[in-house]
Structure 1
Amino acid sequence: MKQVGVLIVDDSAVVRQVLTGLLGGTPGIEVLHAVADPLLAMERMKVRWPDVIVLDVEMPRMDGLTFLRKLMAERPTPVIICSTLTEKGTATAVEAMAAGAVAVMAKPRLDLKRYLQDSALEFINAVRSAAGANVRRLAARATVQAPTPRQNADAVLAAAAPGAMVQTTQRVVAIGTSTGGTQALEEVLATLPRVCPGIVIVQHMPEAFTAAFAARLDKVCQIAVREAKTNDRVVPGQALIAPGGKHMLLRRTGAQYFVEVVDGPLVNRHRPSVDVLFRSVAKAAGSNALGVIMTGMGDDGAAGLLEMREAGADTVAQDEATCVVYGMPKEAVKRGGVRRSVPLGAVPREILAQLNG
């Protein structure tokens, strides 16, 4: 079996040392080099091109975002962003994912060595997932400029008071995704008009990154995009994204839907878990829901989507040709939870079809 060659690019000697030990000691993974900045990385890559690059964001001489864009333009390569849990770091890491990174891994500023050791399995799985990613799809999407939000008088007039003109929604769209999902979600949500069903989303991301991700989407979409909080209403023209490190459930009171954000154990190795969301949607919304499972590694969401279908919901999977990793959709199809598979570009049409029930 071919070894997955990994290049680590991080100005922290501790990160380089610990990740080299963790990844280098894993069967099937070989650490080619561990260097302090992208310029040194480019020198090493002349000798052997890596299969996966683990890349820091803030570094001397050249930042990780500039290096990533150069890679995606010249020779697309799977990149895992390793970023600090700070406001600046998270925002830049989310921007890096929009530029073509496969995944983002968190690292704290304090007790870094222990954190990396405790997260060993997560890093190993991320590298293996990245090695099999359809990175050319990521690179192709990264070159497309995000659409300019359509402005109306709201851009000039004062915002309405909280709760004004809130409509009751009877249709709910639940979306689950993982590896490659940040760009896929941007492509889908940025296409939707302001008149669309309420949407609830689980995207596998580390804690503290989802707020920056939601804020980025909110800027490029006509619909509102928010990181979810307990008791947030699910209303037309808005998407709620589950916070990293928390599960999100759909609840119903009368004709109104709202979300609950809760702690809990990892489900399918994830928190938030797509299965947790989908199962709650099956119970709370039943046939009034659409379930969409998109690109990602593993099987999270497959069982929940089947429950949604058995409860009468419509269910859709992103097709293999447009996935970065055809893992989660494939497993959902295999278990019988998917009514039909469609290209990524057709997902917005499936969502808007829910307006007519």
Structure 2
Amino acid sequence: MNTHRNQKRHVSPETPVYHPAGEGPDQQPASKRRSARKKLVCIGTSTGGPRALQTVLASLPEGLPAPVLVVQHMPPGFTRQLANRLNSICRITVKEAEDGEIVQKGTAYIAPGDFHMKVREQAGQMVIQLEQSPTVSGHRPAVDQTFESISRLKHYDKVAVVMTGMGSDGTKGLIHLKNEGNVKVIAESKESCIVYGMPRSAIAANLVDEIKHLNDIADAIIDYISD
């Protein structure tokens, strides 16, 4: 078991209209519909990301009732080192994602450098798919690719987190998420960002539900997936 030191732990004109999950002819009470749905967390970050990821992932509890997909802009090799280091200090399991593996609750999967990370549903399970299609805005892995991929999952409530990083990667993917499923979006505040580009882009596009200081992001994630 990992050891852990306790730590403290809307829309632009061109954006499609977001239709919240649960609307429609479903006859079950809303509380039962929510409890029956699976949970998924996805985090995108770039410059300053390793420090930010350590703060957030190390504050998540053992037995987290959701998997965590992480896209950190990094070259090949460095993502495995990052995953191994985070795994040594977190209560959840942290690993570099592998093509074809089945996603498990309580585990964070970091996209390998030079691979886009996508997921698909297969026989009721979520399976990771790694690919080397062209870079997106110069990035591979790209947050947009992962966010867009998880938007296609129909039976999950999702939490998307955009943290410190240069540019706007993640914003286009959030449009898909907001339009296709039940998602809550958290952006890191300017106060705690090393580089405010990625969160600022998401906020400017009116796609963010909450803006949180880095130290408060883990608590916000837990609140959403515990609903």
1:345 match: secondary structure: helix
Deviation of residue 243 (structure 1)?
A: 0.1
Aligned identity (percent) is: 38
C-alpha change, 1:285 and 1:199, in structure 2 (3 Å) is farther
Instruction: Select which of 41, 54, 77 maps to 1:186.
Output: 54
Q: Is residue 219 of structure 2 the alignment partner of residue 355 of structure 1? A: no
Q: CA RMSD in A?
A: 1.9
Q: Is residue 204 of structure 2 the alignment partner of residue 334 of structure 1? A: yes
Describe how 1:3-152 pairs up with structure 2 within 5 A.
148-149=3-4
2:40–2:156 CA contact under 8 A, matched in 1: no
What's the counterpart of residue 17 of structure 2? Answer: none
Q: Is residue 171 of structure 2 the alignment partner of residue 302 of structure 1? A: yes
Q: TM-score, normalised by structure 2?
A: 0.80
Question: Whose Rg is larger?
Answer: 1
* Paired amino acid for 1:291: A
Instruction: Tell me, in whole angstroms, the C-alpha distance in 2 between the residues paired with 1:189 and 1:355.
Output: 15
Q: Per residue, is there more helix in 1 or in 2? A: 1
Deviation of residue 329 (structure 1)?
A: 0.5
Q: Is residue 214 of structure 2 the alignment partner of residue 214 of structure 1? A: no
Describe how 1:228-247 pairs up with structure 2 within 5 A.
228-247=97-116
Q: Is residue 44 of structure 2 the alignment partner of residue 176 of structure 1? A: yes
Deviation of residue 349 (structure 1)?
A: 1.2
Deviation of residue 171 (structure 1)?
A: 0.8
Deviation of residue 232 (structure 1)?
A: 1.9
Unmatched tracts of structure 1, length 5 or more: 1-146, 151-168
2:115–2:130 CA contact under 8 A, matched in 1: yes
* Paired amino acid for 1:225: V
TM-superposition CA deviations, 1:37-91 (whole Å, max 9, x none): xxxxxxxxxxxxxxxxxxxxxxxxxxxxxxxxxxxxxxxxxxxxxxxxxxxxxxx
2:38–2:155 CA contact under 8 A, matched in 1: no
Unmatched tracts of structure 2, length 5 or more: 6-36
Deviation of residue 353 (structure 1)?
A: 2.1
* Paired amino acid for 2:67: G
Instruction: Tell me, in whole angstroms, the C-alpha distance in 2 between the residues paired with 1:293 and 1:230.
Output: 24
Instruction: Tell me, in whole angstroms, the C-alpha distance in 2 between the residues paired with 1:356 and 1:261.
Output: 29
Describe how 1:271-282 pairs up with structure 2 within 5 A.
271-282=140-151
* Paired amino acid for 1:209: F
Describe how 1:306-317 pairs up with structure 2 within 5 A.
306-311=175-180, 312-317=182-187
1:299–1:328 CA contact under 8 A, matched in 2: yes
Instruction: Select which of 153, 157, 167 maps to 1:284.
Output: 153
C-alpha change, 1:204 and 1:285, in structure 2 (3 Å) is farther
TM-superposition CA deviations, 1:79-137 (whole Å, max 9, x none): xxxxxxxxxxxxxxxxxxxxxxxxxxxxxxxxxxxxxxxxxxxxxxxxxxxxxxxxxxx
1:284 match: secondary structure: coil
Structure number with higher relative contact order (C-alpha < 8 Å, ≥ 6 residues apart): 2
Q: TM-score, normalised by structure 1?
A: 0.52
Instruction: Tell me, in whole angstroms, the C-alpha distance in 2 between the residues paired with 1:258 and 1:344.
Output: 29
